[in-house]
Amino acid sequence: MNLRNIAIIAHVDHGKTTLVDELLKQSGSYRENQRVAERVMDSNELEKERGITILAKATSVVWEGTRINIVDTPGHADFGGEVERILNMVDGAIVLVDAAEGPMPQTKFVVGKALKVGLKPIVAINKVDRHDARITEVVNEVFDLFAALDATDEQLDFPIIYGSGRNGWMATDPAGPSTDGMKPLFDLVISHVPEPTVEEGPFRMIGTILEANNFLGRIVTGRISSGTIKPNQPVKVLGQDGHVIEQGRVSKILAFRGIERTAIELGEAGDIIAIAGLSKGTVADTFCDLSVDTAMVAQPIDPPTVTMSFIVNDSPLAGTEGDKVTSRVIRDRLLKEAEGNVALKIEESADKDSFFVSGRGELQLAVLIETMRREGFEIAVSRPRVVYKKDEATGEMLEPIEEVLIDVDEDFAGIVVQKMSERRAEMVEMRPSGGNRQRLVFYAPTRGLIGYQSELLTDTRGTAIMNRLFHAYAPFKGEIPGRRNGVLISNDAGEAVAYALWNLEDRGPMMIEPGWKVYQGMIIGEHNRENDLEVNVLKGKKLSNVRASGKDEAVRLTPPIQMTLEKALSWIEDDELVEVTPKSIRLRKVHLDPNLRKRSEKSRAEVGVA
């Protein structure tokens, strides 16, 4: 059977899921009356909420004797560790663009990678039936984007197809005909995308996507470069340096057939398959026949740049909102996550009550924390810290530097440059990017970018778009100013009283509301001075038997600061933690006892002086 492997690149809400559903339906992958509970490309709960693709997914359709494998791609840089490897599995890409919104920032990251690896794009303008569609301008914007991303002349000569995924048609003209359904798109993929290149020789495949399955163990997905594979066939796994990681037998070969992944008896060169039965082989390793001695060149896994401590929750409210609180269940959950997510690195601390979790960015770690709290876990997490590296030649400490692209309206370019320079960033490029917008490119230390996303949106009234990519390790750039204000700390345990909060309003903004449970050492607000201050939020109004008119009106409180998980992680200092439970996000000091806090500060100060 003829084969085509394509990636689908689209911003959230541009109609990717609907389009793929139509391709599946019209190719006969499922019947009209078949109930499909979960569409293949549908995102999970967190992806829907955040509007980002986190997990790579694949599906497959058959059209007139040709099998078309379709691979979805994550668009965010924190999950971009696998994008380049995914794009190396395919030979073409459909760039799906909304006819009204045009190309959006999330597509830029993946489109740039796709052009870099030499893929020939097909541009599909979707939702042409929208009342605010601006088809010609959107096509020009796509062309400008490709040109800005240094596309070759061949890549700029891309075919364009128009249609409406919801109404189930695509055509070479925006006006239709709409009677041919998805046939024009299928035909274009078959004519424009080349067949996969197949090499001579025995079975070889590079691992691209790794997942953990409760029944089959580790499942590794990749494209077969040469040879064939059958169930029970002995294979070995070679690392990038060519040494043998393990030998074993393939217990099962799975392939994407329509909306299901089914077991097959023979995997052939060029096809995208998943194999089970090996316990150590991972992404970027070469899975091959026993006669092969040389590893294939693979895209290396990006090194982790940010680390956080995940600590067993020991606050007085521990165990009141979640049911997974012990170090054993937290450890098992983190190790399970690391099995399927190669960009994560898990290390256990000496006391066994905390774990160091390292990843590609604070967003990736925040997504993991959010997933765990929804599963019923209670944990305390530290402020994200960058992963330093020692230069072996000079002994100098090196820190991760990222290339940061910020598209922003001209009016706000000044404040962005100022804030980035405060964070020790170096501007390397500034150019117009269409309309009255500027594209600013910086090399910035990763630690300076922690928590900057929300500040950037505030400074630019939500108009700026930031993309980040790991660039290199470089010598330490110097101190970066942190939070200037101290915090208000509860000095007792109980329920917060409105009268007490009202009396404390001139000390700084609050983070809690009346009736909230508090404990000693919990952070309840931001102090308007530099020092930390212990306060009593349990103190009610003294009652007397004298009533004066106007004195008993209800107190009016200023609304508290709403702390999201990402905001809390970037706001806390090194001696503070975020307590995360299924129902609450609380801020607290590492040492709840004030005497222990003072002792710890004293010893830190002595170390600093020494």
Q: What is the mean pLDDT of residues 468-482?
A: 83
* Residue numbering of the annotated binding site: 13-18, 126-129
pTM of the model: 0.74
Q: Is the pLDDT of residue 38 over 50?
A: no
User: In the chain, pLDDT over 70 holds for what percent of residues?
Assistant: 88
The pLDDT value recorded for residue 584 is 92
The alpha-carbon radius of gyration of the chain (Å, integer) is 27
Residue keyed to tokens 């064939």: 228
Gap between the Cα atoms of 280 and 83, Å rounded: 22
Q: State the average pLDDT over residues 480-503.
A: 89
The H-assigned helical ranges of 387-507 are: 413-422, 446-449, 452-459, 498-503
User: Among 32-41, 253-262, 520-529, which range has the highest average pLDDT?
Assistant: 520-529
pLDDT of residue 547: 57
Q: Which has more pLDDT, 424 or 24?
A: 424
pLDDT of residue 54: 41
- Residue 33 has a pLDDT of 47
Binding residues for GTP: 13-18, 126-129
Kindly tell me if the per-residue pLDDT of 37 is higher than 50: no
Better-predicted residue by pLDDT, 126 or 451: 126
The larger pLDDT score, comparing residue 427 to residue 131, is at 427
Closest CA relative to residue 365, chosen from 283, 327, 313, 310 = 310
Q: Are 6 and 195 in contact (CB under 8 A)?
A: no
The residue written with tokens 């700026």 in the block is 464
CA atoms in the 13 A half-sphere facing the CB of 15: 29
Q: Could you write out the three-class secondary structure of 136-181? A: HHHHHHHHHHHHHCCCCHHHHCCCEEEEECCCCEEECCCCCCCCCC
What is the C-alpha separation between 286 and 540, in angstroms, rounded? Answer: 68
Is the pLDDT at 9 greater than 80? The verdict is yes
Is residue 492 scored above 70 in pLDDT? yes
- Tens-digit pLDDT profile for residues 266-302: 999 999 999 999 888 888 889 999 999 988 887 766 6
CB 521 within 8 A of CB 490: yes
Domains and CATH numbers, the chain: 2-192 (3.40.50.300), 204-288 (2.40.30.10), 389-475 (3.30.70.240), 487-576+591-609 (2.40.50.250)
Residue given tokens 């599995």 in the structure block: 89
Burial of 131 (0-12, 13-18, 19+ CB in 10 A): exposed
Give residue-wise pLDDT tens across range 115-149: 988 898 999 999 898 888 889 999 998 998 899 88
pLDDT digits (tens, 9 = 90+) for 331-376: 999 988 887 777 788 998 887 789 999 987 777 788 899 989 999 9
Helix H, strand E, coil C: the string for 296-322 is: CCCCCCCCCCEEEEEEECCCCCCCCCC
Q: What is the pLDDT of residue 280?
A: 86
Whole-number average pLDDT of the chain: 84
449-457 mean pLDDT: 83
Look at 542 and 595; give whichever has higher pLDDT.
595
Q: What is the pLDDT of residue 80?
A: 52
Q: Which tokens go with 386? A: 């960058």
